[in-house]
Structure 1
Amino acid sequence: MIRTVVLDVGETLTKDDRYWAAWADWLDVPRHTVSALVGAAVVDGRDDADALRLLKPGIDVGAEYRAREAAGRGERLDETDLYDDVRPALTALRAAGVRVVIAGNRSRTTGDLLRALDLPADLIVTSGEWGVAKPSLDFFHRVTGVSGAPAHQTLYVGDHPQDDIFPAAEAGLLTAHLRRGPWGHWWADDETVQRVADYSVDSLLDLPSLVNPSWGRPGPG
């Protein structure tokens, strides 16, 4: 029985196009260069920030982020950044009586921007607000603490094996690997990911049927 669904942010709820484009513009490099290096990091199983380190060796990503904000070029997020299935899927989950939590590796600013979108979620938190980030098990212990359900009745949904699926499973949570974005597509057919993840989904609209098998079926004629 799944009582709570917890969702990652980047490439689960939101497209990362704007995020990486902003970094490319800030570092004054072509956007396709950043995209290519992020892709290389995906294939190599490396952290996406490695793409920025390749562009600017020795970069302090946190310091550069603060410099962007000070220059008025910080994060932006609006309805166009959401994948189309986000609102209907989250709405269906809540209608099924499931608690919906959004918790991912993002800044305090992103937390504020997500809450401003008035998403159908019971709680929105970020690693920046918690002071602990994935893949640390402490992050997933915090997830369990806000879930309102035991770990074995809490489903964590994400695209990234190393940041989402593996540590969430280690923390005792159920997991759903989402085939979305660079990590989601590249690692979807990996044998270890398939073995560790309890579910594999192609869309957030697959989630309501996991908590209510009758969801989406036509009613009696």
Structure 2
Amino acid sequence: MVIKCVALDIGETVTRDDRYWASWADWFGVPRHTLSALVGAVVAQGRDNADAIRMLRPGVDPAAEYAAREAAGRGEFLDETDLYEDVRPALTALRERGLRVVLAGNQTARAGALLRGLALPVDALAVSDEWGVAKPSPEFFTRVTELAMARPEEIVYVGDHPANDVFPAHAAGLRTAHIRRGPWGHLWAGDPEVRSTADWSIGSLHELQDLTA
């Protein structure tokens, strides 16, 4: 089957999460390594990322704290330095070959706006906050298919997280590429179920050139 669209997750596939977690640590006034270690712990346990914040401050409401940060002028931020180095060249090359390239991930509306401000070489960009549905919901991948303007089997969804990316995208009929990037990508890179479910395992977005040929 010919691949007509490459759809990519955003966090730890296109953007690095360093700034995101560092800003939370700074907000709570704790060493950045402390929060990073807690994120690693919840990742290994298969728990929600926000649990790291709840462990740091029991009883805290992450959504309320997010709003408080925004009100204090210390809210979410993204710029060119948050992109992995292979993003622009790899996605540009895919589009030059005639493939449709889209980004779709579990991000806030603010993150979506910030990403659009970077003028990335993509045909479309959408985030869960705007759609009102998040991964791993099947509806999210129905939306991805609509955004891709292709049949599910003509789409490769690229992501680092098995439970949010590889498994649900595969269940929706999309082809999948698991990227060894970020804590989730590295932790599960050798997992037998991930390797047997994903159509490809990659270490760089440049490898998409060969697998979509």
TM-score, normalization: structure 1?
A: 0.94
- The equivalent of 2:141 in structure 1 is 140
Q: Any idea what SS the aligned residue of 1:114 has?
A: helix
Q: 1:15 is matched by which residue type in structure 2?
A: R
- The equivalent of 2:99 in structure 1 is 98
How far apart, in 1, do the equivalents of 2:50 and 2:87 lie?
26
How far apart, in 2, do the equivalents of 1:178 and 1:31 lie?
25
Q: Where in structure 2 are there 5+ consecutive unaligned residues?
A: none
Query: What whole-Å deviation, never above 9, does each CA across 1:151-199 have from its counterpart, x for those lacking one?
Result: 0111110000011111111111111000000000010000000011011
How far 1:59 moved relative to its partner? 2.1
How far 1:49 moved relative to its partner? 1.1
1:180 aligns with 2:166: no
How far apart, in 2, do the equivalents of 1:166 and 1:59 lie?
31
Q: Any idea what SS the aligned residue of 1:100 has?
A: strand
Aligned ranges for residues 78-97 of structure 1 at < 5 Å? 78-97=79-98
Q: Any idea what SS the aligned residue of 1:142 has?
A: helix
Q: 1:21 is matched by which residue type in structure 2?
A: A
Q: Which consecutive aligned stretches of 4+ in structure 1 deviate over 3 angstroms post-superposition?
A: none
Q: 2:206 is matched by which residue type in structure 1?
A: L
- The equivalent of 1:215 in structure 2 is none
- The equivalent of 2:50 in structure 1 is 49
- The equivalent of 2:169 in structure 1 is 168
Query: What whole-Å deviation, never above 9, does each CA across 1:96-134 have from its counterpart, x for those lacking one?
Result: 110000000101111111111110000011011111111
Q: 1:139 is matched by which residue type in structure 2?
A: F
How far apart, in 1, do the equivalents of 2:27 and 2:138 lie?
32
Contact 1:175/1:197 (8 A) holds in 2: yes
Query: What whole-Å deviation, never above 9, does each CA across 1:60-110 have from its counterpart, x for those lacking one?
Result: 211111111111111111111100000010001001110000000101111
- The equivalent of 2:124 in structure 1 is 123
How far apart, in 1, do the equivalents of 2:139 and 2:30 lie?
36
How far 1:42 moved relative to its partner? 1.6
Aligned ranges for residues 1-221 of structure 1 at < 5 Å? 1-212=2-213
User: Quick one: percent identity of the two aligned structures?
Assistant: 63
Count of residues paired in the alignment: 212
Q: Any idea what SS the aligned residue of 1:128 has?
A: helix
Contact 1:103/1:143 (8 A) holds in 2: yes
How far apart, in 2, do the equivalents of 1:166 and 1:140 lie?
11
How far apart, in 1, do the equivalents of 2:17 and 2:168 lie?
22
Contact 1:8/1:157 (8 A) holds in 2: yes
How far apart, in 2, do the equivalents of 1:170 and 1:61 lie?
30
How far apart, in 2, do the equivalents of 1:105 and 1:83 lie?
18
Q: Any idea what SS the aligned residue of 2:208 has?
A: helix
How far apart, in 1, do the equivalents of 2:172 and 2:62 lie?
28
Contact 1:96/1:208 (8 A) holds in 2: no
How far apart, in 1, do the equivalents of 2:187 and 2:40 lie?
9
Q: Any idea what SS the aligned residue of 1:29 has?
A: coil
How far apart, in 1, do the equivalents of 2:5 and 2:63 lie?
32
How far 1:58 moved relative to its partner? 2.3
- The equivalent of 1:219 in structure 2 is none
How far 1:57 moved relative to its partner? 1.6
